[in-house]
Structure 1
Amino acid sequence: MRGGTVAVVGGSIAGCAFASAAVRAGADGVVVLERTHGRLADRGLGLCVHDDRAAELADAGALPAGIPAHRLERRRWVVRDPGAGGGGRLVWEQPFPFHSYHWGLLWRGLRAATPDSVVYRQGVTVEGVAGDGGGAEVRLAGGAVERYDLAVGADGYRSVVREAVCPGARPHYAGYVCWRGNLDAARLAELGDATDPHPGAVTTVCFPGGSCVIYRIPGPDGPRVNWVLYAPPPQGGGLRFDDPTSFPPGELTPELSEQLRALLEREFPAYWGAALALTDPADTFVQPIYDLETARVTAGRLLLAGDAATVVRPHNTSGAAKALQDAAAFGAAWRRAESWEGLLDGYQAARGPAGRDLVALARRLGRAQVERTPAWASMSGDEVAAWWQGQLGGAAGIGGQAMPPTAAPAP
């Protein structure tokens, strides 16, 4: 099938990937509707993509070459132990074939790779959508209505398009929070070491009731250290549990900052607690953890992508890969289809079950690593390895599922 017009609501990672996929598949016209003005906020956050997923995505045309990435090779699980030194005691180590990315640099690479034929409109707020067998209507702030053959919801947690596809579907609070931050890797020299002692590794600090993942990422001005800390919700401090982005960078209250400092001092090995404490307040934030699975990812001429379709807890390290896989599957379904209905049915079959599986795995990981943490400090390496396999529940690993070979673009 060739031809037709597509509106992509949201111009972030998923939005850019879908716009490019639609052009490659043969759309006549593609418009991206992004609510922000200027460059998207550079979140500075880190993310990881499994090496196998990255290779598949590159072959499918969904991951452009040349985007800065930092190679990771292993994951080290450590616990606080005064007798083991400031870096903590290693309880288990596993292979970790991933590359880490800076969110802003990844988005810029995807945006730069978006074909020139895509009309990327910024400062456009979409207030509602509707779709039937004949097309999709997009209602903009101010009352204007635009009509397309297909509308893609790449508008994240608070998706307007999801409300039309699955009315009433909302992310659900998981019962714990995620503290996030990143710092200039050069600042580690302040701790007495010129470099991170394990720059090619992910370090996971384990403690009762939580865990923290620490790894390097490339940054606009040099390497950075990215960290993601899962813990029970802090008390007070103005944190709400009905909003997936409660306190963005630079807006932590003094009470919340103090609670984070106390957590680092109480639970972390000395080196890693001091390292995270170097993070500037402007680069630190906290958010409640949510997840969501939807009954469908298509309806009429509407289609959901990325976090609009499925909100997966970050433990699975699959968010960016999943958004790019959605785009690759969309392009593959388009090339196989003879009609819009065939395209939507093909996408639903490919990405509906995949999203639900990712949510289920991330819930298991969250229970094991935050909600029901084991006695890590007393476990042997073999016991930790068995505990890890129990979380996977038969899945091959974290980082997302393998893509079918049909996702590759036609020559």
Structure 2
Amino acid sequence: MRGGRVAVVGGSIAGCAFASAAVRAGADEVQVLERTRGLLADRGVGLCIHDDRAAELAAVGALPAGIAAHPLTRRRWVVRDPDAGPGGRLFWEQPFPFHSYHWGLLWGGLRDATPDRVAYRQGATVTAVADGAAGGGQQAEVALADGGTERYDLVVGADGYRSVVREAVCPGSRPQYAGYVCWRGNVDVRRLADAGVEHGPGDAVTTVCFPGGSCVVYRIPGPDGPRVNWVLYATPPRTGPLPFDDPTSFPPGRVTDELTAHLAELLESGFPPYWARILALTERQNTHVQPIYDLHTDRIASGRLLLAGDAASVVRPHNTSGAAKALQDASAFEAAWRGAGSWDGLLDGYRAARGAAGREMVALARRLGRAQVERTPAWSDMDGAAAQAWWEGQLAGAADIGGQAMTR
């Protein structure tokens, strides 16, 4: 099937990937409708992609070459122990075949690889979507904040966990708060020496374990050199106005005094001194708080509407699969398009390829969240054998974290 007019709502990682896939598959016209007017490249959080997933995505053209990435090979699990020194006691080490990325640099690489034929429209806020096919029409309608209405043969919802397109596909389907949050931050590696830290993370991800939570620390590339990225999961303080009943976050520079103080208490009471010093180096304007939500939708496509990335399923970050899932969704979309003879055939093929994947990743990430935050074991009692058994219990037959192998 060739031709057609496609709108991609949302212009971040999933949006750029789907726009490129639509052009490669044969769309006549592709419009990306991105609500923000500023640079998306300034989003500095870290993420990781499993080496096997990266190789698969590169082979099908979904992950462009040349994007800065830092190789990781192992994951170290440590717990505070006064007898073990400032770095804590290492109780387990496991293989970790991933590369880490800076969100903004990954997005920039995908944006640069987007074909010139794609119209990337910033400041285009979509307020509602209607599936014209459901009413017997041949196109979907997109309503914009400026009062305009546009019609497309297909609308892709790549608009994240607050997706407007999802509301049209699955009315009332919204992410649910998991009961805990993550503090995120990163710091220039060059600052470590100033604080008496001899060396930062190299090829290892370190998971710092403490009662009621855990924190992953690893190196990422940055626009101005390498940085140390960290993500700390724990329950928030139980007092104060923290509105987590609706998907929200506290962006850099707007984290409340209460949340900042709670982070300091966690570092003081539960962290080995070495790792506490690294996190404490992070300036407040480089720290934000993200309540953890998840969601699996009953449908990922309907009529002339299709959901991608976090719009289709919101997976807790423990699975380390978010970016890979978005790119795999785009690859499956392209393959479904090439094998379809109609729009209905395209959506059927996409549903068959990606429907179960989202559900299974949400389930795995929930198990990981329960084990590493909600119902943490007695970390101080753990050794390698106990940790291995505990980890296999979380996987429950899954091959690994980082997403599933692509099927074509």
When the two structures are superposed, what TM-score results if normalisation uses the length of structure 2?
A: 0.97
Structure 1 residue 360, shift from structure 2 partner: 0.2
Unmatched tracts of structure 2, length 5 or more: none
Contact 1:181–1:284, Cα closer than 8 Å, also in 2: yes
Q: 1:80 to 1:194 in 2, by over 3 A?
A: closer
Structure 1 residue 115, shift from structure 2 partner: 0.1
What is the Cα-based RMSD across aligned positions, in Å?
A: 1.0
- The code of the aligned residue for 1:26 comes to G
Corresponding residue pairs, total: 404
Distance 1:54 1:210 in 2: 29
Structure 1 residue 41, shift from structure 2 partner: 5.7
Q: Which residue in 2 is equivalent to 1:100?
A: 100
Distance 1:179 1:243 in 2: 18
Q: CA offsets, 1:364-392, max 9 Å, x none? A: 00000011111121122011001000000
Q: Secondary structure at the match of 1:388?
A: helix
Q: Which residue in 2 is equivalent to 1:367?
A: 370
Q: Secondary structure at the match of 1:292?
A: strand
Distance 1:400 1:279 in 2: 30
Q: CA offsets, 1:31-69, max 9 Å, x none? A: 000011132261200000000000000011110000000
Q: Secondary structure at the match of 1:178?
A: strand
Distance 1:238 1:252 in 2: 12
1:247 lines up with 2:236 in the alignment: no
After superposition, residues 8-407 of structure 1 pair within 5 angstroms as: 8-40=8-40, 42-133=42-133, 134-196=138-200, 198-404=201-407, 406=408
Structure 1 residue 237, shift from structure 2 partner: 4.5
Q: Which residue in 2 is equivalent to 1:409?
A: none
Return 156-165 or 251-260, whichever deviates more: 251-260
Return 322-331 or 243-252, whichever deviates more: 243-252
Distance 2:139 2:359 in 1: 27
Q: Secondary structure at the match of 1:157?
A: helix
Structure 1 residue 236, shift from structure 2 partner: 3.2
- The code of the aligned residue for 2:365 comes to A
Contact 1:243–1:288, Cα closer than 8 Å, also in 2: no
Distance 1:371 1:244 in 2: 19
Distance 2:280 2:243 in 1: 24
- The code of the aligned residue for 1:136 comes to A
- The code of the aligned residue for 2:143 comes to R
Return 126-135 or 390-399, whichever deviates more: 126-135
Distance 2:196 2:37 in 1: 43
- The code of the aligned residue for 1:395 comes to A
- The code of the aligned residue for 1:146 comes to E
- The code of the aligned residue for 2:101 comes to Y
Contact 1:244–1:287, Cα closer than 8 Å, also in 2: no
Q: 1:51 to 1:269 in 2, by over 3 A?
A: same
Distance 1:146 1:2 in 2: 21
- The code of the aligned residue for 2:114 comes to T
